[in-house]
Amino acid sequence: MEILCLMVQMRREMMELYRTHSVVQAVMLTQHPESQDDGEAVRKAFASYKDSLMPYLKAELKKEENKIVQAMQEEAMRGPMKVTAIEPMRVSSRLRRMNKPRVAKPRRKAVSQW
Residue 93 lies in a domain: no
Residue 49 lies in a domain: yes
Residue 102 lies in a domain: no
Residue 84 lies in a domain: no
Spatial separation of the C-alpha atoms in residues 78 and 74, rounded to whole Å: 7
Spatial separation of the C-alpha atoms in residues 98 and 94, rounded to whole Å: 6
Q: What is the pTM of this model?
A: 0.38
Nearest partner of 52 among 80, 26, 13, judged by Cα: 13
Residue 94 lies in a domain: no
Q: What is the pLDDT of residues 99-109, one digit of tens each?
A: 666 666 767 66
Residue 46 lies in a domain: yes
Residue 47 confidence (pLDDT): 76
- Which residue range is the domain that position 7 belongs to? 2-77
Residue 110 lies in a domain: no
- Considering its fold, how many domains does the chain have in total? 1
Q: What is the pLDDT of residues 72-85, one digit of tens each?
A: 999 899 888 888 88
Residue 51 lies in a domain: yes
Q: SS3 for 79?
A: coil
Spatial separation of the C-alpha atoms in residues 51 and 60, rounded to whole Å: 12
CB 24 within 8 A of CB 45: yes
- pLDDT-derived band of residue 49, with 50, 70 and 90 as boundaries? confident
